[in-house]
Structure formats: structure tokens, C-alpha cells
Amino acid sequence: MTREDNMDGRRRTGDNWRRIDIGIDYPFSQLPQGDVELFPYGVLEVKLQTAAGQDPPGWIRELTASHLVEAVPKFSKFIHGTASMFPSRINLLPFWMPQMDVDIRKPVSHNFGLMRPGHSTETSTSAAMDEDTDEELDQEDDGDAEDIEDDKNLQRLRDARDALEQHEQERFLEQANGDANVLDEEERMAHKPIAHADEDYPLYDSDDEEEELAEAKRVGGRTYRWKLARKHVTLAGDKILDVLKQATPMPKPTQIPDREGRMGIPAGRGVSEKRFKAPPGKKIHVPVRVEPKVSFAVERTFLAWLEFSIILGSIAATLLNFGDSISLASAWAFTIVAVLALFYSMGIYLWRVRNLTKRRAVNYHDKWGPSALCAGLAVAVAISFAFRFSKGGEGGLKEMSRGGGGGGGVQY
């Protein structure tokens, strides 16, 4: 990858439409160090045409799980070159940038039947002869040499086919004889504990909250005080939750033994964690695939909250219109809960829609909303019962039935 722009005042292309001093001699030592980016890997691009929710073919999954390749979805050499050569002009870093200094080579899982034809240990009649000897051969000897080469190529193809058939047979036998409850490779990797942060599975931190707090600090005023208070409240809540988790007795998980060589893939190294923090002022762009059902789920959640708010509002209106003076406090309590639930659901819905539109990798789970709604509803019911029992159970439907029971009907 080479620079051909003139952004820094240097004319790299001269009067031509392209740069002519690149050449073809690796490692392009004639170019300045900042004008060339050496990409140390080969790129195998596989394009799939699958329907929504459809899994890729089996050979794709087997290939990406093998030692032959390292899966990098949505990789782009243009984006990589731009991020490498223009670090001061971009704000988003591609998610694969932290792994460029990590050795992606993996131990050989099993033989796929792939080999280099030039590295064969067998020697043929034509390969053992030099050019002078080849000139002295007649037409019949040339035909024999070609037949030998064809036979060896066919033998290599047969060996590759036999290796694949043997691998498929081993997979079938393991699935037939194995325990149906045994975890597959993905589940087994997910259940492994996270080790020290020194390996090639990075977690991407962009520090969005810290950047927002720093920006609010420069502006000052009420916004900065509110963001600072929210940060301290969040930190205090996290510490309280950590203390409660440590104090609560938890059952120890059962260690699941690894099955070496299951499905032809060896049990690899323990999954460990490596954190990569983006430089100040930059964020890491993590590709997020938004399924259509996610948008419908967000709308259904908002409609469910809206329905619940309408029910609470109806209860409050009933108590206000058909109740006595004691029911007024209960009506106010239910009204406040209904209004808070309505505004909260609208705010959460707008926040989720905005993040889905921008394809942000944020946590869409509502951790406190349902709990707060249940707590508010419990408080409203408690207020209703407290006021009613404080008056000795007077009023309500009981008094209404007593007052209208003696007439026997409507009098004119």
C-alpha cells in the first residue's frame, strides 16, 4: 500500500495521474518510510449469498475454524491502508487494527489434503533429468514422462479425497457415539475461564463516556455537573454490586473436560483477554449487524410499556372519578407511576432507535426499568391500602352499597 496523495504538500505523483517510482522490488526501499505500508498477510475473500438467518455452508465454517485462515469479517485493504497512513486525519479505527502485531498462526488441527506440488518427496523420471538429457529423449520417452506426471497428480487428488472422507467419517462416528449433552466447540470456548490479558482476543474500549465527560468539563455548567454526578453514582452502584456478589454464596461451576480432537479440531489454548484502548480522540469501529427483527422487538417493547401506562392511567381515572376523598391519594400515586412509565418508555425507545440507526455496539438491555416500574406500582398499591386502613375501612364500595341499598330502586 503506497501513498499517492498530496495532502501534506508533497507532490508524489508529479505531473502524472499515478505514482511512477513504486517499482516491483520488495520491500520498496526506494520509497520513504511513511509512504509505504507492508501488509504481511494474504487475503482470501469469500462472498456468500445466504438468506436472513441462514448459516453459511459447512466447508466455510470448517475452514474458518481451522489453522489455515484467520476470519476477519468485512475486512478492507483500503480502510486498513487509510487507517495506517493517515492516523491524524481519522477518528474511527477498524476493529482488526489491534491484532496486526499478533501472530495469527495456529497449530495444525488436521490434514486437509493440501500440499505444495513442488515440495513432493517423490521424484519423477522427467524431474531427475537435466535440460541436456531432455533434448536427447525421443517422442516416446516424453510421452512416458507425461504419463508419470499425470499419474502422480491423480494420486495426489486421491490422497486429498481420502483424507477428506476419513475426516468426515471420524466426525460422523464422534457425533454418533458421543454424549448428546456434550458441548460443541463454540459452547466449550464460551464456558472457558478468561485468563491473563496477554493473548490475541482483544476487547475494544473506545472510552466514549470519558470523552463526553471531558467535553462537558470544557463547556462547564449544569451539563458537566450532571454527567459528573451520574459517573459517581454509577461507580458507587458498581462497587455496591461487587460487594453484594462477593458476600452472596454462589455454587462453584463444574469443570467440563475438554475433548481433544473433537470434530478434527484440537482443544486450543485457553481463551484469554487483551484490552486495546483507542488513542485519545479516536474510537474503534466495531461492525454491528442489525437484524430487521431487532427493530420490531424495540417497537413491541415500547408498545408493551405504553399499554401498561394506559392501564395504570385508567385505574387512576377510575379512582379519581368514582372514589371518595380517600381514593384521591391512590389516584395521584397511580397517575404519577403511569406518567413516569410513559416518559421513560418513550426515552428508552428513542435512545434505542438512535443507536440502531448509527449501528452502535452498546448494551440495549434495560437493567433498571422493569424493576423500577414494579417498585413504583408496589408503592402506589401500598399507599392505597395505607390510606384506606388508616380510616378504618370507611368509604369505597362498601359505603356506596350501604347508602343505596335501602331504597330498593330509583325514586322520582
Give CA–CA dist 66/60, Å, rounded: 10
Among the residues of 260-368, which ranges form H helices?
A: 292-322, 327-357
Give CA–CA dist 78/88, Å, rounded: 17
Answer whether 189's CB lies under 8 Å from 258's CB. no
Answer whether 330's CB lies under 8 Å from 387's CB. yes
Find the length of the chain.
412
Q: List, in order, residues 6 or more apart from 353 with CB less than 8 Å away.
A: 295, 298
Residue with cell 482488526: 96
Residue with cell 417497537: 299
Q: Which has the closest alpha carbon to 95: 286, 282, 276?
A: 286
pTM of the model: 0.41
Q: Which DSSP category does 74 fall into?
A: T
Decide if 77 is catalytic. Answer: yes
Q: Where are the beta strands (DSSP E) in 155-310?
A: 202-205, 274-277, 283-285
- Paired with 78 in beta bridges are none
Residue 94 is inside which H or E element, if any? strand 92-94
Q: Measure CA of the first residue to CA of the last residue in the chain; give whole Å.
A: 98
Write down the pLDDT at residue 303: 92
Going from N- to C-terminal start, the domains of the chain cover 39-105+183-285, 117-177, 292-401
Relative to beta strand 274-277, strand 92-94 is unpaired
Write down the pLDDT at residue 332: 86
Among residues 47, 74, 77, 274, the one annotated as catalytic is 77
Give CA–CA dist 67/63, Å, rounded: 8
Write down the pLDDT at residue 167: 65
Answer whether 183's CB lies under 8 Å from 259's CB. no
Give CA–CA dist 159/46, Å, rounded: 26
Task: Report mean pLDDT in 10-residue bins for the chain, 412 residues.
Answer: 75 76 76 78 82 77 79 82 79 77 72 58 43 48 56 72 68 52 44 42 50 68 76 79 73 52 43 56 65 84 91 87 76 88 91 83 80 87 82 56 47 40
Give the count of alpha carbons within 13 A of 238, CB side only.
Answer: 6
Cα angle vertex 119, ends 115, 123, to 5°? 120
Q: Which amino acid is at 319?
A: L
Contacts 24+ apart (CB under 8 A), 396-403: 396/323, 396/324, 396/326, 396/327, 399/324
Q: Which has the closest alpha carbon to 283: 204, 373, 192?
A: 204
Answer whether 192's CB lies under 8 Å from 271's CB. yes
Answer whether 276's CB lies under 8 Å from 98's CB. yes
Q: Which has the closest alpha carbon to 27: 14, 18, 40?
A: 40
